[in-house]
Structure formats: structure tokens, C-alpha cells
Structure 1
Amino acid sequence: MLSASSRANRGWWDGNADDYQVEHGGFLGDVGFVWGPEGLDEAEAGLLGDVHGRRVLELGCGAAQCARWLVTRGAEAVAFDLSHRQLRHSRRIDLDTGVRVPVVQADAESLPFAGGCFDVACSAYGALPFVADPGAVFREVRRVLRPGGRFVFSVSHPVRWAFPDDPGPRGLTSDRSYFDRTPYEERDEDGVLTYVEHHRTMADWVGLLVASGLTITGLVEPEWPEGNEQVWGGWSPLRGRHLPGTAVFSCAAP
């Protein structure tokens, strides 16, 4: 059974997938792998290592741009997302590019895959900011990874929670506690939850990963690069020069 967070976010992404792909599809690329709004490209970062011949799972794939890029690098990639509408965009891009990715609609807290069937798992801002129980996701990832498998994921940098989600000067002044873990919620006129994001501190993420049995092997905080003038929600060149926007965790299964 889906949690309240998952039910709300499935509806939100189904309703907003079209606009999201129109607004951000050019930046993401139909066959591309960027870890976040800063534009850190897996082709240069190499956080997943050599994926040729590897079975790779993408969590919260959206239109599966990342998994599609992995296919072009010789991976046997599979992807899933909570939103059916996002997966429809994946099929559209499959047809446009000729690069096909098997996708399934699923909840990251309960993966429909057998244990030990993937060499690598990855997620670029997919699923983890939106789930009520990220520990369940980590346990599921560990379950489906083979011994020694690699898991790399990106999320909003936790420090961002203490600042307004504003790309301008207002976004440079903290207005709330970093330690306030109250989720950000949106509700309709009847009070029904329609969207939610959950905040975890850096220590929370580390603790959840350790408790799941995964080993943290690296952490990247991408700097905002020269030449990237894109404003994406609360991300902007102005804020990127002062505050980290993305945290990319690298982990290994025992």
C-alpha cells in the first residue's frame, strides 16, 4: 500500500510531467545523465564506474534519460518511476531516439525485483526526496544489489532547507532551522495532501545508509560551473556561488 506521501506525489507528477519535460527536457537531454541542476555530467564524473555489461537500476527515473544514456554505454539498464505519465514520456523518447529502456511503474519503498539481480543502482533526484521512509528504500536497494554492488544517488543538499527556495538574493539568508524536519507540503482546498518533500540533515542521510547496511564510499558537493546561467526553481548562479545545492552519495553493498 502506498504511503500518503507516495499517493500525493504520484498524483502531482502525473499532473505536472508534461510541463516538467517541456521546461527541463532540453537541459536533461533525451539521452543524458546529469546529477543535478549544476550540470554535473556522469560522462565526466564517472561515479558509476564502467557500466559496460552491467545490470543497472535507475530509481525514480522520470522519463529515463539517465538509464537511456547508460544503455548507450553498454549497460543493461532498467528503470522505474511512481508516475505513469512520466513513463509515457519515457516511451515517447524511446521512439524518438531509438534507444529503448524497459520501465515499470513502482514505489521505491517496495521494489518489484528479485534480490541480488543488479550490479549498480542510481538515482538523480529521483524518489528519495519524496518518500516518507528513505530507510526502506535503502534496504530495498541493498536487497536487489549483488554483493559489492554500487549505489549512487543525488538529492538536494540538506543545508538548502534552512534557506528560502528563491533563486534571488532572498535565497541567501537563512529563515528557518536546518534541524526542522517538518516536511514541505501542499494541499488542495479540501485539505487533501497533493505534494510533499521530506528534509533530512546530512547526519540523517548518513545514519539511514549505515543502518541499511550500505557502506558510504564518497560524497560530492558539485560547485556551480561557469557558463551555467539556468535558473531552476531555487537553483541559480547567484545561490550556486555561495551555497551547495546538491549532494551526491556513493555507496557500496557488502
Structure 2
Amino acid sequence: MWGPEGLDEVEAELLGPPEELKGKDVLEIGAGAAQCSRWLAAQGARPVALDLSHRQLQHALRIGGSFPLVCADAGALPFADASFDLACSAYGALPFVADPALVLREVHRVLRPGGRFVFSATHPIRWAFPDEPGPEGLTVSASYFDRTPYVEQDDDGRAVYVEHHRTLGDRIRDIVASGLRLVDLVEPEWPSWNTAEWGGWSPLRGNLIPGTAIYVCERDLRQD
């Protein structure tokens, strides 16, 4: 599932047709409990689920799956050059790192020539609106160009959650600078069947402004 709108990979085929995933080496970055890797393994792919959070990977281990779980920083991937055919990240890692360009360069390094990287994140335009599902979430309240991170702190003032804002232009420049090529930018529309409302997500907002941006990138066939 690429985002709260409900667009799934079976429908979207952003990594390619399901029948072509069989035997492919796939890296899931910011895997959390490895739901995407579990689906990929069911298609016959050979996924590796990577996350910085040991606790999240413990959840993945408890749920089960016959694929490797790796606890590591997405900005320093512990894999050899050209190790993977595909890489993916559904709301994982990239929104939460201060230097997403470093992650993209690492992805470029571990992808084989012609390999594809697909990642989803909150659509940048959403940062200009309050995170509310109702009408109050439809009025611009902040500058789209304000790149101040969103930070939640505990009672002792320690950051427990940090999310970084990148404009659409920032994201595209990061991708290009990494050596990857942007081949598609998918902005899923809110489907009529999805009546869910939680956090700042709702049919009301989803029918008016995009909530998710999915970046489809490829490494050039030429070996760098």
C-alpha cells in the first residue's frame, strides 16, 4: 500500500508487473514491520527489509517472514554496490532524515543498472495546511516554502518524532543530484470506496488536495 488513499501495488504496478517480481532482489527502506517485504516475498521476490528501529524489526520478526531483517541507517546502507534490482519505501525513512539526498545516493549505489526505486511520502503541498480532516484543514495556514521540521518532544524536551519538509522542487533536485532519473510522479486521487477518516486524512480533504506523492525513479542502464 503506497499511502492512506489506498493505492496498492497490485493496482499500480509501479515496481513492475507482479509476475516480473519473481526472483528479483528488492530492498525495502524504512520497512517498519516489513509489510511490503512480506507482500513482495509472496510474489516470489527476494526482499530485504531495512529499518533504523530495532523495535519495529522486532514486530516484523514476531509477525514472521522468510527474508532478512537489517537494522541500519538508510544513509549508510550496509550492502555492496549493485546489490538490488529494485528498492521501495512506503512512507519510510526519507521524510524523517535531515539529508534525504544522502539516502538517494546510497540507493543509487546499491541498485543495479536499470534498477528502479519507488518511494512515497506526504505530498509537499499538505505542509501548508493544518493537519485536520475537516473544513478547518482546507485553509492555508503556513508557508509552503517554510522548511522548518515538524518536531514532537517528550516531557524532558527530547525529540521523539521529527519529520522534514521538502518542496516538490527539493525532492526532484535531490533525485536528479543522486544520479537517479525521475520517470513518474504519481499523485493518487482519493477513491470513492475509501470512507476512512483519521488524523489529517479524510475523503473531504482527499477529494480537494493531494495527500501522497509517489516518486518513481530509475538508475540509468549505463554502469557509472
Which bin holds the TM-score, normalised by the shorter protein?
over 0.9
CA distance in 2, matches of 1:168, 1:81: 33
2:160 is the counterpart of 1:194 = yes
Q: Which residue of 2 aligns with 1:64?
A: 34
Match status 1:157 vs 2:126 = no
Task: Quote the residue 2:189 is aligned against.
Answer: 223
Structure 1 contact 78–103 (Cα < 8 Å) conserved = yes
Q: Which residue of 1 aligns with 2:10?
A: 43
Q: Does 2:46 align with 1:73? A: no
State the Cα deviation string for residues 167-206 of structure 1 (Å, max 9, x = none).
1111111100000000011123332222110000000000
Query: What percent identity do the matched residue pairs reach?
Result: 65
Greater helix proportion: 1
- Say whether residues 1:108 and 2:78 are aligned partners: no
> Aligned AA for 1:179?
F
Query: Shift of residue 100 of structure 1?
Result: 2.3
Counterpart CA distance in 2 for 1:190 and 1:88 is 27
Structure with more of its chain in strand, by fraction: 2
Q: 1:64·1:101 contact (CA, 8 Å) conserved in 2?
A: no
In 2, the alpha carbon distance for the partners of 1:109 and 1:132 equals 10
The CA deviation at 1:84 is 1.1
Q: Does 1:133 align with 2:103?
A: no
CA distance, structure 2, for counterparts of residue 220 and residue 147 of structure 1: 23
Match of 1:209 in 2: 175
The structural deviation recorded for 1:93 is: 1.3
Aligned counterpart for 1:244 among listed residues 205, 210, 218? 210
Q: How many residues get paired?
A: 217
Residue-by-residue CA offset, 1:128-167 (whole Å, 9 max, x unaligned): 1100100000000000001111000000000000000111
Q: Name the structure 2 match of 1:89.
A: 59
Contact persistence 1:123–1:153 (CA under 8 A): yes
Q: Which residue of 1 aligns with 2:24?
A: 54
Q: Which moved more, 1:84-93 or 1:121-130?
A: 84-93
Q: 5+ unaligned residues in a row in structure 2: which ranges?
A: none
State the Cα distance separating 1:104 from its structure 2 match: 1.0
In structure 2, C-alpha distance between the alignment counterparts of 1:76 and 1:68, rounded to whole Å: 10
Stretches of structure 1 lacking an aligned partner (at least 5 in a row): 1-33
**Partners of 1:103 and 1:237 in 2: how far apart?**
35
Helix, strand or coil at the partner of 1:185: strand
What is the letter of the counterpart of residue 70 of structure 1?
L
Counterpart of 2:7 in 1: which secondary structure?
A: coil
What is the TM-score of this pair, normalised by structure 1? 0.84
Separation in 2, partners of 1:124, 1:189: 30
**How much does 1:106 deviate?**
1.0
1:172 and 2:138 correspond: yes
Offset at residue 232 of structure 1 (A): 3.1
Residue in 1 that maps onto 2:199: 233
How many angstroms apart in 1 are the aligned matches of 2:44 and 2:13? 14
Instruction: State the secondary structure of the residue aligned to 1:101.
Output: coil
Q: Distance in 1 between matches of 2:202 and 2:103?
A: 30
